[in-house]
Amino acid sequence: MGDQIKKVWGEMMSLISTIKASCRDCYKCVRCCPVKAIRVISSHAEVVEDRCIGDGRCVTICPQQAKKIESSVNTVSGYLKAGYKVAVSLAPSFAVAFDSWKPGQVISALKSLGFSYVEETAEGAELVAQQHLALVKQNTGSVITSCCPAVVKLIELYYPELTKNLAPVVSPMVAHGAILKQRYGKDTKVVFIGPCIAKKEEAQHFDSVDAVLTFFELMQLINENRIYPGVLPDGKFDGPGAKLAQVFPSPGGLAKTAMLSTDLLAKDVITIDGLEETISFLDNFQQVSDSYKLIELLACRGGCIAGPGIPSLDGLYSKREKLLSYAETRRQDNNREEAGSCDYPNITRSFAPVDPEPVPSNEQIAEILARTGKFKLEDELNCGACGYNSCREKAIAVAKGMAEVNMCIPYMRAKAESRANLICNMTPNAIFVVTKDLRILEVNPAAERKFLCKQEQVVGSNLGTIINPKYFEEAIQTKQVVTGEVSYPAYGLVAWQAIFYVENEEVVIGIFADITREKQQREKLDRMTVETLGKAQEVINKQMRVAQEIAGLLGETTAETKVQLTKLMKLIDSEAGKGR
């Protein structure tokens, strides 16, 4: 199996992507990711592939469903349509994955989809359990199980010194894939179907599995092909099957399959499920490493039956009960063929520990903390609102490019409030904030000066004790901004007002810009204009009188001249007549 491990990391698909339009600054995925493999860029949270262990928690807890798992539905549909021989390796947890379908009906639905063979991954699980048992018997030290790909990735990335304790054995999926390739031919396409997202990334490192579907994706494939499992008869698995490994998905399942003690008080064997518990255990591994021969670690709390790829809404204990019942039924199935003496493939593997990231210097951390107003230890609230456990941890993430400074919500809130208060305190405009029933909540310093009041004296009192509230009432009734010029003679104030109702907060805000001086200047200008126009009219009237007088004098002179000239003409004419 070792020579089947794929070495080309550049070909790996992106396991989990972010739908940016749906990502809403909540930082819930950062908060819930146990290894902080989420990078926040431009307020969007994205998964960093080379830090992610594939546990899938960010997908299940995102309130906006902004995390998307890389789908293999089209790949598998392509195999089926192209006529390939396609063998299914079906994880034992399928028995609890679907609320309304019986196990046998799921098998029938897979056959209806066109899969050539449907076998249970439990066969590979039994082989893996035997290998773990052999390692325990060698008594070479504490053996950490290597069945959970999320745990393996966790150790490779964050506890590289413990890879020597990992059992050098592939997972049941990879082992069973190799069995199926050997049984049905190397050209057979092997599709694993299970509850685990991390299996998708794991499969890319091995040649024995061609595609991985979660149970959610299986439901999609069934629905797209209009298959109704609930009306189908019970189908049967192909292949020899397994004896004990149907309990493998439950905590302690490997130890049970390997016939080791699963007693909660067993001295040599311990089972830990849940990433927080696993991380806590690994943090203190050196203190307890000599106490256990086999350490079974599972990323999901409750084991694989609580994996992120399971659609069932049943509770954990209900799923466990269904799994145990299914396992008992399988053991009592007289029609099942017993596993033969198959020549199983080699299922050993190696691991690739990753060098730890360099830690930022104390100077870098202090500089980043200072950018959010944290200059001394008491300033570090460690509230966790940003998604990190402490301010220092978040500062380290900023230094590594995994977080942004403005993710500090208390700092950003204080900054916003500080700016808002600065604006309200420094603006020359008077501001009143009142409730729906016109009780004063707040007045700014400009309002105190212009309306001759003190905040501590008027808060809680009715607005009508200071000004006429009719415009505030109008804003509440109309839900519109009320604007216009208004006079307050009692305060010697003329203002341009803008009053609006904030419905979500159920408060009314009134802003008053003092235009008293402008009003006075405008009135003075108006008076000057009237006076100027009056003077101009006087001048015009006087000029008209003079013109009329001149015209009158000219008219009289002209008439007299006409009379005298007429007389002269007549005299001349008469004298001329006498001469003739």
Q: Which overall architecture, per CATH, does domain 2-331 show?
A: 3-Layer(aba) Sandwich (3.40)
Structure tokens at 385: 């609102």
Model pLDDT, residue 372: 87
Model pLDDT, residue 559: 67
Model pLDDT, residue 78: 96
Model pLDDT, residue 218: 97
Q: Are 323 and 251 in contact (CB under 8 A)?
A: no
* Residues 6+ away with beta carbon under 8 Å from 505: none
Helix, strand, coil shares, percent, the chain, to 5: 50, 15, 35
Model pLDDT, residue 262: 61
Domain boundaries, the chain: 2-331, 362-413, 427-514, 531-569
- Residue 481 CA to residue 499 CA, distance in Å, equals 6
Residue 200, SS3 per DSSP:
helix
- Residue 375 CA to residue 42 CA, distance in Å, equals 26
Beta strand residue intervals within 279-386, DSSP E: 294-298
Q: Are 489 and 502 in contact (CB under 8 A)?
A: no
CATH number for the region 362-413 comes to 1.10.15
Class of domain 427-514: alpha beta
pLDDT in tens, the chain (580 residues): 544 444 333 344 578 999 988 887 788 999 999 999 999 988 889 999 999 999 999 999 999 899 999 999 999 999 999 999 999 999 999 999 999 999 999 999 999 999 999 999 999 999 999 999 999 988 778 999 999 999 999 999 999 999 999 999 999 999 999 999 999 999 999 999 999 999 999 999 999 999 999 999 999 999 999 999 999 999 999 988 787 788 899 898 888 888 776 655 567 889 999 999 999 999 999 988 888 999 999 999 999 999 999 999 999 999 999 999 998 888 776 344 454 446 788 899 999 999 988 889 999 999 999 888 888 998 898 998 898 999 999 999 999 999 998 898 888 877 777 777 888 888 999 999 999 999 999 999 999 999 999 988 898 899 999 999 999 999 999 999 999 999 999 999 999 999 999 988 889 999 999 999 888 887 788 787 777 777 777 777 787 787 777 777 766 666 666 666 666 666 666 655 555 5
- Residue 356 CA to residue 229 CA, distance in Å, equals 48
Hey, what amino acid is at 350?
S
Residue 272, SS3 per DSSP:
strand
Model pLDDT, residue 272: 94
List C-alpha distances in Å: 500 to 161, 465, 480, 510: 64, 20, 6, 7
* Residues 6+ away with beta carbon under 8 Å from 244: 126, 129, 256, 257, 259, 327, 331
List the one residue out of 58, 97, 82 whose CA is nearest residue 197. 58
Helix (H) or strand (E) holding 473: helix 470-478
Beta strand residue intervals within 50-168, DSSP E: 67-69, 86-90, 117-120, 143-144
**β-sheet with 189-194: strand ranges across:** 117-120, 86-90, 189-194, 211-214
Model pLDDT, residue 3: 41
Model pLDDT, residue 2: 43
The three state secondary structure string of 498-510 is EEEEECCCCEEEE
Q: What pTM was computed for the model?
A: 0.72
- DSSP tag of 276: H
